[in-house]
Amino acid sequence: MKVPKNLGMRQTTVIVSLFLLAFAFVISNCDTGVQTVASGEELFLSYCAICHGTDGTGGGPMTEHLKLPPADLTKIAARRAGNFNADQVYQIIDGRVPVAGHGTGDMPIWGNTLKESEKLKNEKQVRQSIDNLVEYLRSIQQ
Ligand code: HEC
**Does residue 34 lie in a domain region?**
no
**Does residue 96 lie in a domain region?**
yes
Q: Which pLDDT value is given to residue 35?
A: 52
Distance from residue 124's CA to the centre of ligand 1 (Å): 22
**Does residue 13 lie in a domain region?**
no
Which residue in 2, 32, 50 sits closest to 58, CA to CA?
50
**Does residue 54 lie in a domain region?**
yes
Quote the domain boundaries for residue 126: 40-139
Give the Cα separation of 89 and 109 in Å (integer).
13
The per-residue pLDDT for range 76-107, each reduced to its tens digit, is 999 999 999 999 999 999 987 776 555 556 77
Q: Which pLDDT value is given to residue 126?
A: 92
Q: Is the CB of 107 under 6 A from ligand 1?
A: yes
Three-class SS of the chain? CCCCCCCCHHHHHHHHHHHHHHHHHHHHHCCCCCCCCCCHHHHHHHHHHHHHCCCCCCCCCCHHHCCCCCCCCCCCCHHHCCCCCHHHHHHHHHCCCCCCCCCCCCCCCHHHHHHHHCCCCCHHHHHHHHHHHHHHHHHCCC
Count how many domains the chain has. 1
Q: Is the CB of 50 under 6 A from ligand 1?
A: yes
Q: Which atom of ligand 1 is nearest to the CA of 89?
A: 29
**Does residue 6 lie in a domain region?**
no
Q: Which atom of ligand 1 is nearest to the CA of 79?
A: 26
CATH code assigned at 51: 1.10.760
Better-predicted residue by pLDDT, 137 or 120: 137
**Does residue 123 lie in a domain region?**
yes
